[in-house]
Amino acid sequence: MSDAHLTERQLGDGPEPVELTEEPIQLSNRDPGGVSEPRATWSRRRRIGWAVALAVGLAGAGALGVAGWRIAEQKDTRLATPDRVAGLTRDDTERARSTADYLRSGFAADIELDRSFGTVYRDPADDKRSVLVFGGTTLLWQPERDLDSLFGLMADETGKVDGLREVPAGDLGGVMKCGTTSGEGGDFAVCGWADHGSVVMGMFPGRAVDDAGALFRDLRAGIQTRG
C-alpha cells in the first residue's frame, strides 16, 4: 500500500498503532497493454456501433421486403391478344399467323416460358406499319438482365440494336427499353418489356423509337393483366 494512504506517524516515547485514513483506494485506469478509455466513452461508441449495424440491417431487410412484394405482385401475369387494342386490329390472315408463330417459336427457344404467344396487329391507316408482338409468361428474378440478354440474341439474328435505351414502363412497372435495328424493309424500331411475370418484345416498322415506345406501352395495357 502506498505511503500516501498512511497517517503521519507520531514520534514519542514509545511506538503507537498505525492508523489508516478513510480515503478510498483508487484503482488505476490503465490496462496492462496500455491506456484504456473511460467506460462512458466506450459504452457510447458501442451504442453508436450497434445503432449503425441495426440501421444497415433494417435497410437491407426493407429492400428485401420491397423486392419480395414486387415479385409477389407481378409473378401471376396473363397475356391476351384481343381483337382490337391501342387503335390496332389483330391480323388473322394465314401469312400474319405464320409470321407470328415463327417469331413465337424462336423467342421461346431463347428463354424458358410457361406460356408463349405471337401475333400481328395491323394499323388500319397503313398496312406497312403493322406491329409484330411476341413473348410469354414466366417467373423472372432479374427482369432487366433477361431483357438485355434477349436484345443481345436479337442482335445476333437481325443485326445490332442501336440506341437501346430505357423508356417509361407505365403503370404496370417493370422495365421497358427500345432501340433500332434493321431488316429487309430498312431500319425499324424494336421494343421490349420485362417484369417478374412476363417478357414481351415488339417490332414496329415505319415508326420512330419514341412513337414505338408510346404505342408499345398502350399495347401492354391492353394485353397484360395480373392476379
Full DSSP string of 3-26:
GGGBPPPPPSSS-----B-SPPPP
What would the pLDDT profile of 133-175 be if each residue is shown by its tens digit? Answer: 999 999 999 999 999 999 988 776 666 889 999 999 999 999 9
Whether residues 58 and 119 fall in one domain: no
Give the pLDDT confidence of 167-206 residue by residue, as tens digits. Answer: 999 999 999 999 998 877 778 899 999 999 999 999 999 9
How does pLDDT run across 51-100, given as a tens digit for each residue? 555 454 444 444 445 566 667 766 789 999 999 999 999 999 999 999 99
Q: What SS3 class is residue 199?
A: strand
- How far is it, in rounded angstroms, from Cα 38 to Cα 196? 54
Residues 102 and 168 in one domain: yes
Give the burial string for 188-199 (b: 16+ CB within 10 Å, else e). bbbbbbbbbbbb
- Residue 208: domain span: 77-226
**Are residues 124 and 25 both part of a single domain?**
no
The number of folded domains in the chain is 2
87 and 127 belong to one structural domain: yes
Kindly state whether residues 58 and 82 are assigned to the same domain.
no
Nearest to 197 by CA among 168, 167, 226: 226
Closest by CA to 107, choosing from 192, 173, 189, 176, is 192
Do 117 and 170 lie in one domain? The reply is yes
Grid cell locating 208 = 420512330
Closest CA to 220 of 121, 40, 79: 79
What gap in Å lies between CA 155 and CA 132, rounded to an integer? 17
pTM score above 0.85: no
Contact 213, 176 (CB under 8 A): yes
